[in-house]
Structure 1
Amino acid sequence: LFGMVLAIGILVDDAIVVIENVERVMRTEHLNAREASIKAMEEVTGPIIAIVLVLCAVFVPVGFLGGLAGQMYKQFAITIAVSVVISGIVALTLSPALCALLLKPGHHEPAAPFRAFNRFFEKATEGYGAGVSFFLKRSLIGLLLFGGMIALIMLLFARVPGSLVPDEDQGYVINAYYLPPAASLNRTEALSGAVTQQLMEHPAVQDVVTFAGFDVLTFGVRSNAGVSFVPLKDWSERTTDELDARNLTREFMGMGAAQKDGLVLSFNPPPITGMSTTGGFESYIQDRSGGSVEQLGEKVQAFVEAASKRPELAGVQSTFSANVPQYYIDLDRTKTRALGVSVSDVFTAMQATFGSYYVNDFTLYGRTWQVSLQSESEFRRKPEDLGQVYVRSSGGDLVPLSTLLRVRRILGPDSYDRFNVYPSAKVLGGPAPGYSSGQALAAMQEVADEVLGEDYSLGWIGSAYQELATQGSGAQAFVFGLILVFLILAAQYERWTLPLAVVTAVPFAVFGAILAVWLRGIQNDVYFQVGLVTLIGLAAKNAILIVEFAVMLRAEGKGIFDSALEAAKLRFRPIVMTSLAFILGCVPLAISSGAGSASRHSIGTGVIGGMLAATLLATFLIPMFYLLVESAAQRVSRRGKTKEAEPH
């Protein structure tokens, strides 16, 4: 859908170029619509073909990138590339035919508002021509400004934080509850129930679904953990920033601050479902030394304490604890055999009473039900309750379990993970307010380098892993697109020099895009990078229109300076028209609200800023670059002819 919105602004460009040129030929050369259409198409067929090839050259290679970023690029690439090809075909066939049929010979005076606009645009064109002439005569100033802009681009990219995709308001929030280790389920129910009651009174909350005894971070059953899924009201009812899901998490965590029995955490779900459990980042500290559980617990505690001191990080914690109170039950196997009791019967009896024992399935009312055996909770609270459970010996006597088992208290982990085969502890958290996920991951890696040492390592999973794996893919797509644009134009013009004048427009678009997202506080994510790739083709399109006409004027015998200046003036109107059409088509992306608005802001802000810079800045310097490139090529050509003419 993003690709379709971008395509709307791109598709009309070719038709605008054709119609504007037909109208100009009819006005200046006083030809009828049919003859003007034929003459105009002789002038713009080359630019239109070049524009279509450039846009396809930008997007088609991007569609073959791998990984998560490649999958996201592919959707844009296919949508826009196919649309552009169809648009080019329509512009070369249907548009001139409609011009010949619909445009009337002769021009009548337009309405007053349009006359005022035309007068304004004529003055703007004169001012634009004066600016172009200034830089054509003072190319050194233009080169210095261009160099300063490149330096600003590098500075802004260093300042704008990076991330995979922006956090979104997805219409619900997740609350997780944690009590001290081995806390009873009743205490967990009391804590989660109190917070649930507060959540239901909040104006943004629609419903609350709470489960006590379930740990959402490990997907395990734990008596001291609970979770609430909090669906929010419709986005139309939550129009203020305070009721945005991304801001509600801090308020919901504040509700739990008054609960002294446990800890309440609140998470905004990840923007891509399945990438992680609770948003933010997830990782594992891996023990590569083969040490004890206690050593791993100490290292994890030191790591969490060091990470909590970093300003870039918030909510850093671990699901691993080596100090959970437990009972260790030791079976006296010698005594068990002496009394004629089967070891398997002892374990089955323990499982069926203190644990859960599967019996069978049965069908009722068209459904299949599972039968499991377990004692009531009041009969399995204490170790002494083992004396109420009996097993039958081979002689038929009933033997209480308490005579066969020895129970002692120990401390240990209630869950023990392995990651990459190594014993591991899960660590999760998120970026602090005002910081991006990229900055948070960098801070976590710095803490790991300082604290973990050589025997332990940090392994990433979920969205954090994908973000690190996709680093550089945006730059790779951008560079490949730029190279292919250059090669396509070199083939189109059959020269290596003219494409240089065209691709110099791309840095202006990049500058406008990165400046716009920096001013708006948006991060450098995958959607912004898609916008950058789009801007390669759009910025090159403006330059193609100027350079192509300058080449045509040179072929008519005009000088380089005059050709560059006249081509810039002739093409100023269609450049402004096509750029405005694309910018206005992307405005809904930049100002949207509701579900998915953060992603739309990222791509919309970038492409609008890039096109504004490509239109308002690049158009002044493209003629200058054409002048420099063409003059250099002319000097090289003269030197070559001079050497050939010298006698040997």
Structure 2
Amino acid sequence: MSGSTGVIYRQFSATIVSAMALSVLVAIVLTPALCATMLKPLKKGEHHVAHRGFAGRFFNGFNRGFDRTSESYQRGVRGILHRPWRFMGIVAALFLLMGVLFVRLPSSFLPNEDQGVLMALVQTPVGATQERTLESIAALEKHFMENEKGAVESVFSVQGFSFAGMGQNAGMAFVKLKDWKDRDADNGVMPITGRAMAALGQIKDAFIFAFPPPAIPELGTASGYTFFLKDNSGQGHDALLAARNQLLGLAAGSKKLANVRPNGQEDTPQFRIDIDVAKASSLGLSIDQVNTTLATAWGSSYIDDFIDRGRVKRVFVQADQPFRMVPEDFDLWSVKNDKGEMVPFSAFASKHWDYGSPRLERYNGVSATEIQGEPAPGVASGDAMAEIEQLAKQLPAGFGVEWTAMSYQERQAGSQTPLLYTLSLMIVFLCLAALYESWSVPTSVLLVAPLGILGAVLANTFRGMERDIYFQVAMLTTVGLTSKNAILIVEFAKEHLEKGAGLIEATMHAVRDRLRPIIMTSLAFGMGVLPLAISSGAGSGAKQAIGTGVLGGMVVGTVLGVFFVPLFFVVVQRVFKKRKATE
């Protein structure tokens, strides 16, 4: 997979593969030696003899309880095998339920993370003075240091710069929160951000937006979604601003969107110079000469370096200060034409004040303006992005939306996910087919995979979590774990079948012999991922996404798998046997 999604998948796959490789090595080389050293031969039934003490009572009670459970389980499996098509209908209903819940699960790219810091942008009206902007920044600092003093450690602010642009009316603040152990759930980064937006929104002299940083710093400057509104038909700057304002108005009325804002400065007064190209050419002037003179006089031009007392210094050419202070100074300048004559600017150019964008914004070479926003509380980023696209359809013809930063990666990941799942299942199927030299074995094994995915989806649904990239990793892990449990039953059943046992008898042998290993390995794995599912603090969003999905998939996949894997094996064997008989 390409993009940041591919990087995340490669990191997880490298971790899992290396861990499994070491596990296989230990199981093959060291485990037999440990078994020979630690395990002692016991006579039949000796492990049921009551031992003294609490440990003896516990283990003997556990064994008796497990034996009764195993007997009930075997009766249940035998009843399922005697009514195969009725229970295959139940399985089909479970598969359908999995598909419906999976589609309805809100989608996003990455979960929100409490990184112990949040940021705030301050933007006062165009032309506001530095003092006016500082007053708004001071109000922001007061809110965090007084109203949120239980959760905020410090505030660092700067005036004249923000992610939206530079100028006297721009400002930015970085709010450092106290350590996670000193903050409860009500003082997480998202609740603090919500309270800040409600309080700072009362300041009428400035637009102030508070937001947490993105989960991956390299993918943008803020959490939420980022997109460009493009002028695909070249209708001009004024039409683009009108479309932007219309879209912002529509977004303000949507219950799925929050904090939708332009990521840039508003139009500012600009001194505009209009050059009559035809008249300049008739006077023997070229546009390059005119632009060079303007750039050198009113800006500067680097010429050379020189050595001054052992240090290298630069030489710049620029108009003297008294000749570039006010608009009227423009009439004092002239340009040399091709005849060596000085032609005043007033002979071929005019000047006037105008409003315009302080920066030239393009996206893929098309005039555009950047907009950022966040999903409303309880709304997934995927649903918020779909809402933006629906609102954009109400704009005049010729304007479109292009996702960028983390939002672009989310869309790209969504388009690649079906191919990833298909490829993963195909590789597992082919590997099992090559290992067991059979098509029926991998078919029986992989039929249990949707049951594990059902568990992962149910767990995320009950916890109100989203279908993000970490959940996708959890689902792929669940497919492998549930398939591993299925192999324990299918392989033993296949061995008994090859030894001459009947299909039902071979399956029941495998069910009886492999229940304890399946339960114990699944229980051990579940206890291992439980800390991830209930984690808190730094990185808890990613940990909970993986832990919840894997734990839910493991529990449901194991509980349903021990009943339905024998059914899958019997049904698949009968289907393949009929096909062979027909051939």
Q: If the length of structure 1 is used for normalisation, what is the TM-score?
A: 0.78
Describe the SS at the equivalent of 1:302: helix
Q: Deviation at 1:247? A: 1.8
Deviation, 1:195, is 1.4
Q: 1:192 aligns to what? A: 137
1:289 to 233, 249, 259: 233
Which residue number corresponds to residue 423 of structure 1? 367
Partner residue of 2:528 out of 585, 588, 592: 585
**TM-superposition CA deviations, 1:7-60 (whole Å, max 9, x none):** xxxxxxxxxxxxxxxxxxxxxxxxxxxxxxxxxxxxxxxxxxxxxxxxxxxxxx
Deviations 1:353-406, CA, capped at 9 Å, x for gaps: xxxx99999999x9999999999xxx99x959x78x999999xxxxxx99xx98
Aligned to 1:210: 157
Distance of 1:606 and 1:361 partners within structure 2: 63
Q: CA deviation at 1:105?
A: 2.5
Instruction: Give the corresponding residue for 2:339.
Output: none
For 1:77-116, list aligned pairs within 5 A: 77-106=13-42, 107=46, 109=49, 110=51, 111-116=56-61
1:297–1:320 contact (8 Å) kept in structure 2: no
Q: Is the 8 A contact 1:177 1:264 kept in 2?
A: yes
Amino acid at match of 1:622: V
**One-letter code of the match for 2:21?**
V
Residue in structure 1 matched with residue 72 of structure 2 by the alignment = 127
- Cα displacement (A) at 1:439: 0.7
Kept in 1, the 8 Å contact 2:228–2:403? The answer is yes
- Separation in structure 2 between the aligned mates of residue 310 and residue 367 of structure 1, nearest angstrom: 61
**Offset, 1:542:** 0.9
Runs of 4+ in 1 over 6 A off after TM superposition: 329-334, 342-347, 357-364, 366-375, 389-394
**For the Cα contact (< 8 Å) 2:293–2:335, is it kept in 1?**
no
1: CA distance, partners of 2:504 / 2:307:
90
Q: In 2, distance between residues paired with 1:562 and 1:164?
A: 48
Q: Where does residue 126 of structure 2 map in the other structure?
A: 181
Q: Does 1:451 align with 2:387?
A: no
Report SS of the residue matched to 1:471. helix
1:437 to 381, 387, 391: 381
- What are the Cα deviations for residues 471-523 of structure 1, in whole angstroms up to 9, with x where unaligned? 13333222212112211222222121222111111111011000000110111
Change (3 A) 1:464 1:135: same
User: Structure 1: how far apart are the matches of 2:458 and 2:578?
Assistant: 38
The answer to whether the Cα contact below 8 Å between 1:191 and 1:261 also exists between their aligned partners in 2 is yes
Query: What letter is aligned with 1:282?
Result: T
Superposed CA offset, 1:564-588 (max 9, x none)? 1121111000000110111000011
Mapped pair 1:156 → 2:86: no
Residues 303-322 of structure 1 aligned to structure 2 (within 5 Å): 303-319=247-263
1:532 is paired with a residue whose SS is: helix
Given that 1:293 and 1:322 are in contact with CA atoms closer than 8 Å, whether structure 2 keeps it comes out as no
- 1:200-239 deviations in whole A, cap 9, x for unaligned? 222211111111111313xx3122111101111111111x
Return the letter of the residue paired with 1:495. S
1:525 is aligned to: 468
Shift of the 446–115 alpha-carbon distance from structure 1 to 2, 3 Å rule, reads same
How many angstroms apart in 2 are the aligned matches of 1:465 and 1:589? 28
Report if aligned partners of 1:576, 1:615 keep a CA contact under 8 Å in 2: yes
| Alignment length (residue pairs) | 552
Query: Which letter maps to 1:206?
Result: E
- Change in Cα spacing, 1:148 to 1:330, as seen in structure 2 (3 Å) is closer
Q: Give matches, 1:23-172, under 5 Å.
A: 65-106=1-42, 107=46, 109=49, 110=51, 111-172=56-117
- The SS at the match of 1:427 is strand
Hey, what's the Cα distance between the residues in 1 that align with 2:185 and 2:546?
21
- 1:97–1:210: structure 2 CA closer, same or farther, 3 Å change rule? same
Give me the whole-angstrom Cα distance separating, in 2, the residues matched to 1:362 and 1:230: 45
* C-alpha deviation, 1:349, in angstroms: 6.3
C-alpha distance in 2 between matches for 1:235 and 1:373: 55
Pair 87,172 (structure 1): closer, same or farther in 2 beyond 3 Å? same
Identity %: 35
Q: Which residue of 2 aligns with 1:575?
A: 518
TM-score, length-scaled by structure 2: 0.86
1:553 corresponds to which residue?
496
SS of the residue corresponding to residue 458 of structure 1 reads: strand
Counterparts of 1:327 and 1:229, CA distance in 2: 34
Pairing of 1:123-522 with structure 2 (within 5 A): 123-201=68-146, 202-203=148-149, 204-217=151-164, 220-238=165-183, 240-319=184-263, 323-328=267-272, 350-351=298-299, 408-453=352-397, 455-522=398-465
Aligned to 2:557: 614
Distance 1:497 1:150 in 2: 20
Task: Give secondary structure in 2 for the equivalent of 1:132.
Answer: helix
Q: Which runs of 5+ in 2 are unaligned?
A: 284-288, 337-344
SS class of match (1:517): helix
Partners in 2 of 1:371 and 1:248 — Cα distance? 51
- Offset of residue 627 of structure 1: 1.3
Is the alpha carbon distance of 1:349 and 1:618 closer, same or farther for their aligned partners in structure 2, counting shifts above 3 Å?
same
**What's the CA shift for 1:165?**
0.9
Provide the rounded CA distance (Å) in 1 between the counterparts of 2:399 and 2:480: 47
Using the TM superposition, give the Cα deviation of residue 347 of structure 1 relative to its aligned residue in structure 2, in angstroms: 6.6
Separation of aligned partners in 2, 1:329 and 1:412: 13
Matching residue's letter, 1:594:
G
CA distance in 1, matches of 2:448, 2:118: 44
Q: Determine helix, strand or coil for the equivalent of 2:394.
A: helix
Residue 101 of structure 2 aligns to a residue whose secondary structure is helix
In structure 1, what is the Cα distance between the partners aligned to 2:443 and 2:60?
A: 38
Question: Mind listing any 5+ residue stretches in structure 1 that lack a counterpart?
Answer: 1-64, 395-400, 641-648
Distance change (3 Å), C-alpha of 1:189 and 1:142: same
